[in-house]
Amino acid sequence: MEQPFFILGPCGLENEQFAWDMARSIKEIADRLDIKWYFKASYDKANRTSGDAFRGPGVKEGTRILGEISKELGVPVTTDIHNPAEAEIAAENIDLLQVPAFLCRQTDLIEACAKTGRSVNVKKGQFLAPWDTVNIGNKLRSFGCEDFYITERGTTFGYNNLVADMRSLYWMREEGLRVIFDATHSVQRPGGLGGATGGDGVLAPVLAKAAVATGVNGVFMETHSNPAEALSDGPNQIPLSDIEEVLKRLIAVHEAAHC
CATH of the domain at 217: 3.20.20.70
Question: What's the pLDDT band for 193 if we cut at 50, 70, 90?
Answer: low
User: CA of 46: how far to CAs of 8, 20, 114, 124, in Å?
Assistant: 20, 22, 21, 17
Q: What angle do CA 4, 9, 12 make, to 5 degrees?
A: 140
Question: What's the pLDDT band for 48 if we cut at 50, 70, 90?
Answer: low
Across 4-24, average pLDDT: 97
Across 76-87, average pLDDT: 97
Report residue 255 CA to chain centroid gap.
23
Q: How far apart are CA 57 and CA 59, in angstroms?
A: 7
Answer for the pair 104, 125: CB distance below 8 angstroms, yes or no.
yes
Q: How far apart are CA 71 and CA 76, in angstroms?
A: 8
Q: How far apart are CA 186 and CA 203, in angstroms?
A: 9
Give the total number of structural domains in the chain. Answer: 1
pTM of the model: 0.95
Nearest one of 168, 165, 233 to 200, comparing CA atoms:
233
Amino acid at 60: K
Report residue 1 CA to chain centroid gap.
22
**Contact residues for 99 (Cβ-Cβ < 8 A; gap 6+):** 80, 81, 106, 109, 110, 113, 120, 121, 122, 123
Which of 9-23, 45-59, 70-84 is least confident? 45-59
- Predicted pLDDT of residue 202: 92
Residue 80 has pLDDT above 80, yes or no: yes
- Predicted pLDDT of residue 168: 98
Buried b / exposed e along 173-198 (16+ C-beta atoms within 10 A): beeebbbbbbbbbbbbbbebeeebbb
Q: How far apart are CA 105 and CA 107, in angstroms?
A: 6
Nearest one of 258, 197, 225, 243 to 17, comparing CA atoms:
225
Across 215-235, average pLDDT: 94
Report residue 194 CA to chain centroid gap.
24
Answer for the pair 95, 66: CB distance below 8 angstroms, yes or no.
no
Range of the domain at 85: 5-258
State what percent of residues in the chain have pLDDT above 90. Answer: 86
Q: What does the mean pLDDT of the chain come to?
A: 94
